[in-house]
Structure 1
Amino acid sequence: MIQDPSSMTLTDKLYAYMQLTRFDKPVGIELLLWPTLWGVMLAAMGKAQQQAMPAGLPTLKIFILFALGAVFMRAAGCAINDFADRKVDGHVTRTKNRPLADGRLSAKEAIAAFLVLVILSVSLLLFLPIEVFYWSFGAIILAFIYPFMKRYTQLPQVFLAAAFGWAIPMAYVAVQGAPDIWCWLLFFAYMCWTVAYDTQYAMADRDDDLKIGIKSTAILFGRYDVIIISILQMLFLLIMGAVLWHYFEPTSLSMIPIFGLGLIAMMFAKQNSACASRQPLLCFKAFLANIWIGRYAFAIIAIACMWTTFNG
Structure 2
Amino acid sequence: MTGTNETPEDKGQVADAYRGNWVDRLAPEATRPYLRLSRADRPIGTWLLLLPCWWGLLLAMLHDGRATWHDLWIFAGCGIGAFLMRGAGCTWNDITDRHIDGSVARTASRPIPSGRVTVKGALAWLVAQALVAFCILLTFNIAAIGLGVLSLLPVAIYPFAKRFTWWPQVFLGLAFNWGALLAWTAHTGRLEWPAVVLYMAGMAWTLFYDTIYAHQDKEDDALIGVKSTARLFGDATPKWLSGFLILTVSLMAMAVILAAIKGSIPALLVGLLGPWAMGWHMFWQMHRLDLDDNDGLLALFRSNRDAGLLPLPFFAVALLL
TM over 0.5: yes
Whole-angstrom distance in 2 between the partners of 1:11 and 1:260: 40
The one-letter amino acid of 2:49's match is L
Counterpart pick for 1:30 among 40, 43, 47 = 47
Instruction: Give, in whole Å, the separation in 2 of the partners of 1:169 and 1:277.
Output: 33
How far, CA to CA, are the matches of 1:185 and 1:281 in structure 2? 33
Matching residue of 2:195: 183
Match of 2:227 in 1: 215
Report the CA distance shift for 1:40/1:260 in structure 2 as closer, same or farther (over 3 A). Answer: closer
Change (3 A) 1:260 1:121: closer
* Counterpart Cα distance in 1 of 2:276 and 2:57: 23
- Alignment of 1:301 with 2:315, yes or no, is yes
Q: Is residue 36–residue 167 contact of structure 1 (8 Å, CA) maintained in 2? A: yes
Tell me what 1:52 maps to.
none
> 1:278-293 maps to which residues of 2 (within 5 A)?
278-293=292-307
The structural deviation recorded for 1:129 is 1.7
Distance across 2 between alignment mates of 1:303 and 1:240: 17
Instruction: Answer yes or no: is 1:39 the counterpart of 2:56.
Output: yes
The counterpart of 2:238, out of the listed 226, 230, 233, is 226
Displacement after TM superposition at 1:247 (Å): 3.5
CA–CA separation in structure 2 for the residues paired with 1:87 and 1:159: 21
Alignment CA distance shift 1:93-1:154 (3 Å): same
Letter of the aligned partner of 2:109 in structure 1?
N
Q: The residue matched to 1:193 in structure 2 has which SS?
A: helix
Change beyond 3 A, Cα 1:43–1:256: closer
Distance 2:81 2:122 in 1: 19
Task: Report if aligned partners of 1:206, 1:218 keep a CA contact under 8 Å in 2.
Answer: yes
Q: Give the Å deviation of 1:233.
A: 1.2
Shift of 1:32: 1.0
Q: Paired residue for 1:128? A: 140
Change (3 A) 1:289 1:95: same
Confirm or deny: 8 A CA contact 2:194 2:259 kept in the other structure.
no
Provide Cα deviations, 1:229-261, integer angstroms capped at 9, x if missing partner.
110111111111222234446323442332344
Contact 1:146 1:160 in 2 (8 A): yes
CA offset at residue 218 of structure 1?
0.8
Alpha carbons 1:21, 1:76 under 8 Å: kept: yes
The number of residue pairs the alignment matches comes to 297
Q: Distance in 1 between matches of 2:88 and 2:317?
A: 31
Return the offset for 1:299.
Answer: 2.4
Listed as ranges, the matches of 1:20-169 within 5 Å are 20-48=37-65, 55-56=66-67, 59-169=71-181
Unaligned ranges ≥5, structure 1: 49-54
| Residue ranges of structure 2 left out of the alignment (5+ in a row) | 1-6, 13-26
CA distance in 2, matches of 1:59, 1:136: 17
CA distance in 2 between counterparts of 1:277 and 1:218 reads 9
Q: Which moved more, 1:33-42 or 1:167-176?
A: 167-176
What TM-score results when the alignment is normalised by the length of structure 2?
0.85
Match of 2:182 among 146, 170, 183: 170
SS at match of 2:151: helix
Select between 154-163 and 235-244 the one with higher mean Cα deviation: 235-244
Look up the equivalent residue of 2:207 and give its one-letter code.
V
**Secondary structure class of the residue paired with 2:106:** coil
Q: CA deviation at 1:131?
A: 2.3
Deviations 1:127-171 (A, max 9, x none): 122222222222112212211211121111111111111122222
8 Å contact from structure 1 (residues 157, 216) kept in 2: yes
Q: Distance in 2 between matches of 1:260 and 1:181?
A: 19
Contact 2:50 2:179 in 1 (8 A): no
Q: Aligned match of 2:249 in 225, 237, 245?
A: 237
Equivalent position to 2:284, from 252, 270, 277: 270
- The answer (yes or no) to whether the contact 1:46–1:176 under 8 Å persists in 2 is no
Q: C-alpha offsets along residues 108-137 of structure 1, whole Å, 9 cap, x if unaligned?
A: 111111111111111112212222222222
> What residue in structure 1 maps to residue 21 of structure 2?
none
